[in-house]
């Protein structure tokens, strides 16, 4: 069954809901999402404390649901990890993803927050599709506290040290994609790293130690992130049953420039060259197998971080199935399951870290026009864990993506 | 689905409890900066405020040695007329031609704060020479610039004696002196308020007491109806107290308070770096050389060492308060206007805290930070210049004749600056 045939089947069984309502919901989500740049996402993990932060791939709910690495998924979509996947979008579109999560660290209070890992828009022009996207890259929101005893003339005085990191690093990218014949699509994107990082150290001494009270000691620094990024990808459809994709992402040196009176000079960190490849194999008319693998070379950053702070090569792999036969009130309702393993680039407490997640999710076309889906919602839920030696945490992560128009 | 989406709607930063994960190595140290290392000059001035503004008047005779104190009170004018019934009439008429035939001086004493345990004898007299209520002292009746006039007898004399009266603080709060007709007539007709005045002093040796106020009650005979004697009174319109001896300032002491008050002006010259070999670095060891900047200062306190006032009678018997305020116009010291208090609230000093050897600490963290920032060029010009001189003073001037004394520079127990610094090593970025 061809892609066109699948879409036509979907159109026949769908009853469009009022387009205005869908548009309003979608736009509201995107407005909220666009107001919070990916680099300012809220924290969700103590693993953010490793190196330059926790790697947060800019993937949508569908990619999360099938455990993929964000490349080689069937259908056309906007993914920062797969620039060629936008080549078949026939209508202008906007899409957004938000991602609430709750994390339970062993021996620590529960933490949680919401991230906006992917926001984008596309515009087809002839055989070409142009995209603009914001996506997440590294989450740096975390804190650590320690109780100390400080020797003063009055005697040992309790003190509380707190080190906080706020902010995050994202990427903004302009892309282009096109189809070459019926079996090939290519895409490229260029952009820059965006975001800021704020680090704050506070020492608070028990105020009663000195008559008149002690001030807190604060050391604060803020840095603006910059750096170039580019990606190239290809999607290949050798048959109706197989869809293969690959992308190569390059990020130049990431520079942190001090701002707002922060002392010091610019700091640069080498960023990785990331290769992603994956594919979708149609096992049965409504059953698809998705698999993918990624490889990123972070060896350059190790020296920048003082050595033994990062892995040289980081692998990620995962896979899952998508069952497309389900319907809800006559609307297509694909169900997904997947499993994904991602090595994390930065050591945490000197230990190599890894993330694993079991995922499930669904999608639904909220509105169709003939064979074109005008509004689509995807949702996935992940139950995952991160481990680094004795440190571990478990999390629930929900990813919701909405795409308006696009075709 | 709503539940699934809502699971992460609480923002809580994931927090590790692990000091080893903090990349900043912070060290908090306490530094004692000797007086000569942070103060360029110290000047103590007296003469702020007037005895007449003190909340209480004092009376003493040979108290704790040879301390003498007397109170001087001026009275207002008596009513110009009295209302009397002419003989055989039922309507009163105003009588402005009344004739004083005598009267009383009614003195109200303080029975709550430091009343004498035993009955004491007070004496009163009518002041016979002009005096200035604001500037009068033990020796000078008038002590204005270019207009000094001494008492004919030190201590507010001479006076026309009004006699003596016993006062038992356990029984009454007033003392009444009889006023003869000559004095009553003089006070009733005198237009100069300086001569409508009485001096109250103690006739009991070793006593010290406080006097609240006094008033003159005149008995006047009506000119309309000579059989009628009417009592009319005039309250106090000005009062002060004079005392002896009157210690001024001492080059070896920091004195604050008194009546008139004393103020100490310290001109700060803060170090911005402690060099190896300095006295401070002997304790800091390998931390030297150590740069001092506002970010590192988490506490700064000016530490003073108490020194019993001399003579001892001037040691405060009650809580006094101390302020530290920047002098806004150094060129006009000691009359410079002063800025806002550095610790927002005045520092209360209990008498016990002012005993010899006891330490009093005045937190001046914000001031030290601002001055350091200015010296290091870190201060925003729009924020204005930080005065280098700080005045130590009593927020209410005067409160009484007693004053606080602290050890001055160059002596054991000299003032010092207590700094608590937090030094951090390591970078915020990985």
What tens digit of pLDDT does each residue of B306-365 get?
988 888 889 888 888 999 999 999 999 999 999 999 887 888 888 888 888 899 999 999
Nearest chain B residue (CA) to A349:
B21
Query: Cβ contacts (< 8 Å) between A379 and chain B: which residues?
Result: 1, 4-5
How far is residue B341 CA from its own chain's centroid?
A: 16
Contacts of B362 in chain A (CB under 8 A): 212
pLDDT value at position B10?
A: 53
Residue B348 counted as domain residue: yes
Q: Domain of A56?
A: 3-405
Closest Cβ opposite residue A161 in set B26, B296, B298: B26
Same domain, B251 and B392: yes
Q: Which of A131, A118, A104, A95 is nearest to A41 (CA)?
A: A118
Q: Which of B6, B14, B296 sits opposite A44 (nearest CB)?
A: B14
Residue of A nearest to B366 (CA): A215
Q: Do B418 and B38 meet the contact criterion of CB atoms below 8 Å apart? A: no
Write out residues in chain B with pLDDT < 50, as ranges.
1-9
**Which residues of B fall within a CB distance of 8 Å from A150?**
28
* Last-in-domain residue among B223, B244, B265: B244
Closest-CA distance, B426 to chain A, in angstroms, reads: 11
* Contact between B101 and B140 (Cβ < 8 Å): no
B235 with B251, same domain?
no
Burial letters for B323-343: b for 16+ Cβ neighbours within 10 Å, e otherwise? Answer: bbbbbeeeeeeeebebeebbb
Nearest CA in chain B to A98: B5
Q: Which residue of B has its CA nearest to A158?
A: B28
Chain Cα centroid distance, residue A313: 19
* Residue B44: inside a domain: yes
Minimal Cα distance from B345: which residue of A?
A212
pLDDT, tens digit, for every residue of A107-155? 667 778 888 899 999 999 999 999 999 999 988 888 888 999 988 887 8
**Between chains, do B9 and A215 touch, taking CB under 8 Å as contact?**
no
Contact (CB<8Å) A143/B15: yes
Domain match, B153 and B125 both? yes
Residues in B whose CB is inside 8 Å of some CB of A read 1, 4-24, 26, 28, 30, 295-299, 301, 343, 361-363, 365, 418, 420, 422, 424, 427-430
Residue A37: per-residue pLDDT: 38
Q: Are residues B240 and B251 in the same domain?
A: no
A388 class by beta-carbon count within 10 Å (0-12 exposed, 13-18 middle, 19+ buried): buried
Same domain, B299 and B415: yes
Are B134 and B164 members of one domain? Answer: yes
Q: Which two tokens stand for residue A198?
A: 């704020």
The DSSP secondary structure of A3-38, one letter per residue, reads HHHHHHHHHHH--PPPHHHHHHHHHHHHHHHHHS-G
CATH of the domain at A349: 2.40.160
Q: Do A398 and B8 touch (CB under 8 A)?
A: yes
Interface test with A, best of B6, B8, B345 (most A CBs within 10 A): B8
- Decide if B19 is inside a domain: no
- Domain of B262 in residue numbering reads as 24-49+247-425
Beta bridge partners of B262: B46, B257
Are residues B85 and B210 located together in one domain of the fold? Answer: yes
Q: How far apart are CA B92 and CA A373, in angstroms?
A: 111
pLDDT of residue B424: 85
* Nearest chain A CA: its distance from B315 CA (Å): 24
Q: How much is the pLDDT for B287? A: 86
One domain for residues B389 and B409: yes
B7 closest CB neighbour out of A100, A145, A306? A100
The DSSP element (H or E) to which B325 belongs, if any, is strand B320-326
Q: Do B253 and B116 belong to one domain?
A: no
User: Closest partner residue to B429 among A46, A210, A223, by Cβ?
Assistant: A223
CB within 8 Å: B19 and A161? yes
Report the pLDDT value the prediction gives residue B8, as an integer from 0 to 100: 43
**Interface size, chain A vs chain B, as Cβ–Cβ contacts under 8 Å:** 173
Residues B197 and B219 placed together within one structural domain of the fold? yes
Cα–Cα nearest to B161, from B186, B127, B125 = B125
DSSP letter (8 states) at residue B375: H
Rounded distance, CA B387 to CA B3, Å?
A: 61
Is ipTM beyond 0.90? Answer: no
Q: Which residue of B has its CA nearest to A383?
A: B4
Please indicate, yes or no, whether residues B233 and B369 belong to a single structural domain of this protein: no
Judge if B325 and B403 occupy the same domain.
yes
Compute the nearest-CA separation of A101 from chain B (Å): 4
When CB atoms are compared, the residue of B5, B10, B17 closest to A145 is B17
Q: Which of B244, B270, B295 is the last residue of a domain?
A: B244
The count of domains in chain A is: 1
> Pseudo-torsion of CA B386, B387, B393, B394, nearest 10°?
-40
Work out the minimum CA distance from A222 to partner chain B, whole angstroms. Answer: 9
- Residue A223: list chain B partners with CB under 8 A: 429
Q: Is B205 within a domain?
A: yes
Q: What is the C-alpha separation between A190 and A232, in angstroms, rounded?
A: 9
CB contact under 8 A, A113 and B12: yes
So what's the pLDDT on residue A407? Answer: 64
Q: Cβ contact (<8 Å) for A114 and B19?
A: no
Assigned domain for B54 exists: no
Yes or no: say if B362 and B347 are a contact pair by the CB < 8 Å rule.
yes
B18 vs A144: CB contact, 8 Å cut-off? yes
Q: Is residue B60 part of a domain?
A: no
Distance (Å) from the C-alpha of residue A379 to the closest C-alpha of chain B?
9
Domain count, chain B: 2
| B1 domain-assigned | no
Token pair 């189809």 is found at A179
Domain boundary among B244, B273, B307: B244
* List of chain A residues with pLDDT < 50: 1-43
DSSP state of B282: H
* Domain assignment present for B327: yes
Asked if A225 and A39 count as a contact pair (C-beta separation under 8 A), the reply is yes
Please name the residue of chain A whose CA is at the shortest distance from the CA of residue B24. Answer: A201
| pLDDT value at residue B11 | 64
Point out the residue among A51, A147, A219 whose CB comes nearest to the CB of B424: A219
Query: Which member of A100, A103, A211 has the closest CB to residue B9?
Result: A100
Contacts of A309 in chain B (CB under 8 A): 430
Listed residue (B138, B170, B167) closest to B68, CA to CA: B138
pTM above 0.80, yes or no: no
Cβ contacts of B205 within 8 Å, gap of 6 or more: B61, B62
B15/A141 CB distance under 8 A:
no
Please, what sign has the CA dihedral across residues B153, B157, B162, B165?
negative
| Cβ–Cβ below 8 Å for B9 and A349 | no
């Amino acid at each position: 069954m061809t892609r066109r045939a699948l879409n036509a089947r979907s159109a026949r069984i769908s009853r469009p809901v009022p387009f205005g309502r869908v548009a309003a919901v979608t736009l509201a989500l995107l407005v909220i999402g666009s107001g919070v740049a990916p680099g300012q996402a809220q924290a969700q993990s103590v693993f953010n404390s490793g190196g330059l932060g926790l790697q947060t791939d800019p993937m949508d709910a569908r990619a999360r649901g099938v455990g993929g690495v964000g490349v080689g998924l069937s259908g056309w979509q906007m993914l920062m990890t797969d620039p060629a996947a936008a080549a078949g979008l026939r209508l202008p579109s906007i899409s957004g993803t938000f991602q609430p999560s709750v994390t339970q660290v062993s021996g620590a209070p529960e933490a949680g927050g919401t991230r906006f890992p992917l926001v984008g828009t596309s515009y087809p022009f002839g055989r070409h599709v142009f995209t603009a996207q914001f996506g997440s890259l590294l989450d740096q929101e975390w804190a650590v506290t320690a109780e100390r005893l400080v020797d003063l003339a009055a005697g040992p005085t309790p003190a509380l040290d707190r080190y906080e990191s706020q902010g995050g690093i994202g990427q903004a990218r302009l892309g282009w994609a096109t189809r070459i014949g019926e079996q090939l699509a290519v895409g490229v994107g260029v952009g820059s790293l965006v975001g800021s990082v704020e680090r704050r150290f506070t020492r608070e001494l028990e105020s009663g130690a000195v008559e008149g009270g002690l001030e807190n000691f604060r050391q604060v620094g803020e840095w603006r992130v910059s750096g170039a990024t580019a990606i190239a990808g290809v999607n290949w459809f050798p048959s109706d049953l197989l869809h293969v994709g690959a992308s190569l992402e390059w990020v130049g040196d990431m520079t942190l420039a001090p701002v707002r009176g922060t002392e010091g000079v610019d700091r640069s960190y080498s960023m990785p060259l990331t290769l992603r490849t994956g594919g979708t194999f149609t096992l049965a008319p409504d059953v698809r197998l998705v698999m993918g693998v990624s490889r990123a070379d972070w060896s350059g950053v190790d020296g920048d971080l003082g050595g033994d702070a990062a892995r040289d090569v980081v692998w990620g792999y995962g896979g899952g199935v998508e069952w497309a036969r389900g319907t809800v009130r006559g609307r297509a309702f694909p169900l997904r399951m997947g499993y994904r393993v991602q090595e994390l680039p930065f050591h945490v407490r000197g230990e190599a870290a890894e993330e694993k997640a079991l995922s499930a999710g669904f999608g639904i076309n909220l509105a169709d026009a003939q064979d074109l889906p005008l509004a689509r919602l995807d949702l996935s839920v992940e139950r995952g864990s991160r481990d680094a030696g004795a440190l571990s945490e478990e999390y629930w992560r929900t990813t919701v993506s909405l795409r308006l128009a696009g075709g | 689905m709503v539940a699934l989406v809502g699971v992460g709607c609480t923002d809580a930063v994931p927090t590790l409890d692990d000091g080893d994960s903090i990349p900043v190595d912070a060290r908090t140290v306490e530094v004692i900066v000797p007086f000569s290392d942070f103060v360029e000059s110290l000047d103590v001035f007296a003469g702020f405020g007037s005895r007449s503004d003190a909340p209480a008047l004092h009376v003493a005779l040979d108290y704790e040695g040879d301390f003498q104190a007397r109170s001087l009170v001026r009275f207002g004018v008596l009513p110009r007329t009295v209302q009397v019934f002419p003989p055989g009439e039922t309507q009163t008429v105003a009588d402005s031609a009344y004739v004083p035939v005598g009267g009383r001086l009614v003195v109200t004493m303080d029975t709550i704060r430091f009343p004498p345990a035993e009955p004491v004898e007070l004496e009163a007299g009518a002041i016979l020479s002009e005096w200035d209520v604001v500037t009068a002292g033990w020796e000078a009746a008038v002590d204005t610039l270019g207009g000094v006039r001494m008492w004919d007898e030190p201590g507010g004399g001479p006076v026309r004696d009004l006699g003596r009266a016993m006062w038992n603080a356990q029984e009454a709060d007033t003392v009444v002196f009889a006023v003869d007709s000559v004095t009553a007539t003089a006070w009733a007709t005198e237009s100069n308020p300086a001569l409508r005045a009485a001096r109250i002093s103690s006739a009991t040796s070793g006593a010290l007491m406080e006097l609240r106020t006094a008033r003159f009650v005149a008995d006047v005979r009506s000119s309309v109806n000579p059989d009628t004697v009417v009592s009319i009174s005039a309250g106090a319109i000005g009062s002060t107290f004079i005392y002896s001896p009157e210690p001024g300032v001492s080059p070896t002491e920091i004195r604050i308070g008194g009546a008139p008050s004393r103020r100490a002006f310290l001109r700060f010259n803060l170090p911005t770096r402690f060099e190896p070999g300095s006295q401070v670095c002997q304790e800091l060891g390998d931390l030297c050389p150590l740069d001092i900047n506002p970010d590192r200062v988490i506490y700064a306190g000016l530490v003073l060492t108490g020194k019993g006032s001399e003579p001892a009678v001037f040691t405060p018997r009650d809580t006094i308060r101390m302020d530290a305020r920047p002098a806004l116009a150094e060129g006009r010291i000691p009359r410079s206007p002063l800025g806002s208090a550095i610790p927002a609230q005045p520092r209360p000093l209990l008498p016990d805290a002012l005993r010899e050897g006891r330490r009093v600490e005045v937190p001046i963290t914000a001031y030290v930070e601002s001055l350091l920032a200015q010296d290091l060029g870190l201060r925003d010009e729009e924020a204005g210049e930080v005065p280098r001189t700080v005045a130590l003073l009593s927020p209410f001037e005067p409160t009484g004749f007693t004053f606080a004394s602290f050890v001055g520079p160059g002596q054991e127990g000299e003032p010092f600056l207590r700094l608590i610094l937090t030094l951090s090593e390591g970078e915020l970025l990985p």
